[in-house]
Structure 1
Amino acid sequence: MKYLCLAYYNEAAFESLTPAELEALGKECQPLDEALRQTGKLGTVASLQHRSAVTVRPKGGRISVTDGPFVESKEQVGSFFLIEARDLEEAVQVASLHPAARLGEHLGWGLELRPVETFVP
């Protein structure tokens, strides 16, 4: 089964980091990212640009498009990745290798895992 892993962060906390702190954090993340790749269960992975999105919703029978990369929340989705796992237990085990599961508590880092259902017509 595939699992979508959404990596969250607190934008204000992240933006308060100095360039040196960002660089140090990146160096801490590298071995964790590599461990995740080495599982052989990692599929697509990507970081998202912040402040460059729109929200599309139905409103009054029409499509409403508004600026903003998020639904009302202090946490932002900063990246996502897909993994393959037998079940939720294995998905948690694999996703736990990601930096957002081990580092950045002060930045509001965290992961949300969702099973991906494939609909075939």
Structure 2
Amino acid sequence: MAKYMLLIFGDPKQWDAMTPEEWRAHDAAHAAFNAAAGSRVLRGEQLESPPVATTLRAGSDGGLVLTDGPFLETKEGLGGYYLIQADDLDEVTKLAALLPEVRAAHSAVEIRPVVDHG
């Protein structure tokens, strides 16, 4: 079985504007995803909003530069992830289609295979 990272991107302003009822429906959809995926989910977490991110990169002088906020200025930010095991991309796609971010106009789910160095 291969490992895949599901990266959940969306507009933090849209997430922040969700009502308690919308959050309950959102959480229920994630619970349905977890139930369908079962033991294939190795890990998954919601992340804090992109503005609280810290970025570390090389400076022009060869030193390190620490910056508040995400590295890229984009409308969408990384909101969470799942690490899952699956037989192939088709299986992952069917599972990822259960996530509510796939159908929301402001968000998407990126599927990335994990490199196996073993």
The TM-score, its normalising length taken from structure 2, stands at 0.83
Amino acid at match of 2:44: V
Uncovered stretches (5+) of structure 1, i.e. residues with no partner: none
Q: Deviations over 1:59-96 (max 9, x none)?
A: 22222111103422110101111111111111111111
2:81 is equivalent to residue 80 of structure 1: yes
1 CA distance for matches of 2:81 and 2:9? 9
SS at structure 2 position matched to 1:6: strand
Amino acid at match of 1:82: L
Q: Deviations over 1:5-63 (max 9, x none)?
A: 11111123333x2xxx4211122123322221122221211111112221111222222
The TM-score, its normalising length taken from structure 1, stands at 0.82
CA pair 70-58 structure 1, distance change in 2 beyond 3 A: closer
Between the two proteins, the alignment pairs up a number of residues equal to 113
Q: Percent identity?
A: 29
* Match of residue 102 from structure 2: 101
Contact 1:36 1:42 in 2 (8 A): no
Show structure 1 runs of 4+ deviating over 6 A.
none
2:33 is equivalent to residue 32 of structure 1: no
SS at structure 2 position matched to 1:8: strand
2 CA distance for matches of 1:11 and 1:63? 28
Deviates more, 1:76-85 or 1:53-62: 53-62
Contact 1:3 1:113 in 2 (8 A): yes
Deviates more, 1:108-117 or 1:66-75: 66-75
Question: Which structure 2 residues correspond to residues 1-121 of structure 1 after superposition, within 5 A?
Answer: 1-15=2-16, 17=17, 21-38=18-35, 39-40=37-38, 41-50=40-49, 51-60=51-60, 61-102=62-103, 104-105=104-105, 108-120=106-118
Amino acid at match of 1:57: R
Uncovered stretches (5+) of structure 2, i.e. residues with no partner: none
